[in-house]
Amino acid sequence: MKTINSISGMRKKALKWRQEGLSIALVPTMGFFHEGHLSLMRTAKSKADLVVVSLFVNPAQFGPNEDLSRYPRDFERDSKLAERQGVGCLFCPDAGDIYPPGFQTWIRVEGLSHGLCGASRPEHFRGVATIVAKLLIIVQPDMAIFGQKDFQQLRVIRRMVRDLNMPVNIIAHPIVREPDGLAMSSRNIYLDAKERESALSLFQALRLAEKMVAKGCRSGPEVIQAIRNHIQSFDNTKIDYIFLGDPESLEECREIVGEALLALAVWVGKTRLIDNTLLTQ
């Protein structure tokens, strides 16, 4: 596996691969790999000749009081894990090269970025869209793999790629969970033993909603209230949002008809966790 730190070096290597007729899959990450990341890499490996994993803790998607400085990092561990998955290249650019002095060009995906996580993190998706666009321009992949845990992010990126006519296939990968149901996240490491138990309230709330809908409940407010009551019954939990709405437009709905997205963001102690499921009536 080759590690590349410079933008020019990544461009040259990607161009060489494309001239050789090789397909490229990109897996964008912020590092501190867990099984969810590794499953994205394996999926990418199954679909392309070469896999590029970007490892970049993107400062532009963190707010002023968020966890940029303490976001977990372990390059040596990540490098070994990526190599074991058959990754061809680990792209680790420097923040000063990605956002050089005087940088002032940002990508905003209107509408889709405003609700859910965008409501409490107003600049988050501007940072996400901009870094993903830059990675796609630099690496020039045939496809890029993203996890469905960040459902809103997936929708924002797909809309950006569509609106800007980017020649890349965005592939969604199902949420990867711990044996007890907790969605895998690099931030799970922040949780102490008691908070780890409280974190299960998200997964349990999603399953509760699925059971209610399976039994014929179509009322959005009724489902949301049941979820709210369940999560708040756990210690150290604070709900950021409970969203129920259209999985394409991300517009809220009061009645569950057909397929609806149920998405949660909950603070467990000082750690913000997200999860989601699709409810089918």
Write the CATH number for 196: 3.30.1300.10
Q: Where are the alpha helices (DSSP H) in the chain?
A: 7-19, 35-47, 75-84, 95-98, 117-120, 124-139, 151-163, 193-214, 220-232
User: Are 33 and 53 contacting, i.e. CB atoms less than 8 angstroms apart?
Assistant: no
Same-domain pairing of 28 and 165: yes
User: Are 126 and 107 contacting, i.e. CB atoms less than 8 angstroms apart?
Assistant: yes
Residue 179 resides in a domain: no
Same-domain pairing of 192 and 112: no
Which are the catalytic amino acids?
37
Radius of gyration of the chain (CA): 19
Of 146, 173, 200, which residue constitutes the final position of a domain?
173
Q: What is the pLDDT of residue 268?
A: 98
Residues 6 or more apart whose Cβ sits within 8 Å of residue 168 = 26, 136, 141, 142, 143, 144, 161
Same-domain pairing of 92 and 166: yes
Same-domain pairing of 249 and 149: no
The number of domains in the chain is: 2
Same-domain pairing of 136 and 239: no
Q: What is the pLDDT of residue 281?
A: 82
Same-domain pairing of 100 and 41: yes
Q: What is the pLDDT of residue 135?
A: 98
Range of the domain at 33: 2-173
* CATH code of the domain covering residue 106: 3.40.50.620
Of 173, 194, 209, which residue constitutes the final position of a domain?
173
Instruction: Kindly tell me the sign of the dihedral angle through the C-alpha atoms of 58, 59, 62, 68.
Output: positive
The tens-digit pLDDT sequence of the chain (281 residues) is 999 999 999 999 999 999 999 999 999 999 999 999 999 999 999 999 999 999 999 999 999 889 899 899 999 999 999 999 999 999 999 999 999 999 999 999 999 999 999 999 999 999 999 999 999 999 999 999 999 999 999 999 999 999 999 999 999 999 999 999 999 999 999 999 999 999 999 999 999 999 999 999 999 999 999 999 999 999 999 999 999 999 999 999 999 999 999 999 999 999 999 999 999 98
Same-domain pairing of 20 and 103: yes
Q: What is the pLDDT of residue 35?
A: 96
- Cα atoms in the Cβ-side hemisphere of radius 13 Å centred on 190: 17
Same-domain pairing of 88 and 222: no
Structure tokens at 241: 């949002």
Same-domain pairing of 58 and 151: yes
User: Are 149 and 185 contacting, i.e. CB atoms less than 8 angstroms apart?
Assistant: yes
Decide: residue 251, CB within 10 A, 0-12 exposed, 13-18 middle, 19+ buried: exposed
Q: What is the pLDDT of residue 65?
A: 82
Q: In what order do the strands lie in the sheet containing 271-280?
A: 237-245, 259-268, 271-280
Same-domain pairing of 36 and 60: yes
Of 143, 173, 203, which residue constitutes the final position of a domain?
173
User: Are 258 and 278 contacting, i.e. CB atoms less than 8 angstroms apart?
Assistant: no
pTM for the model: 0.95
Structure tokens at 66: 């968020």
Residue 74 resides in a domain: yes
Q: Which residue has the tokens 């009536």?
A: 281
Residues 6 or more apart whose Cβ sits within 8 Å of residue 137 = none
Beta bridge partners of 252: 245
Gap between the Cα atoms of 61 and 161, Å rounded: 18
Residue 181 resides in a domain: no
Structure tokens at 1: 């596996």
Proportion of the chain in helix, strand, coil states, percent, rounded to 5: 40, 20, 35
Distances, alpha carbon 180 to alpha carbons 176, 200, 207, in Å: 11, 8, 12
Residue 178 resides in a domain: no
Same-domain pairing of 155 and 194: no
Same-domain pairing of 105 and 160: yes
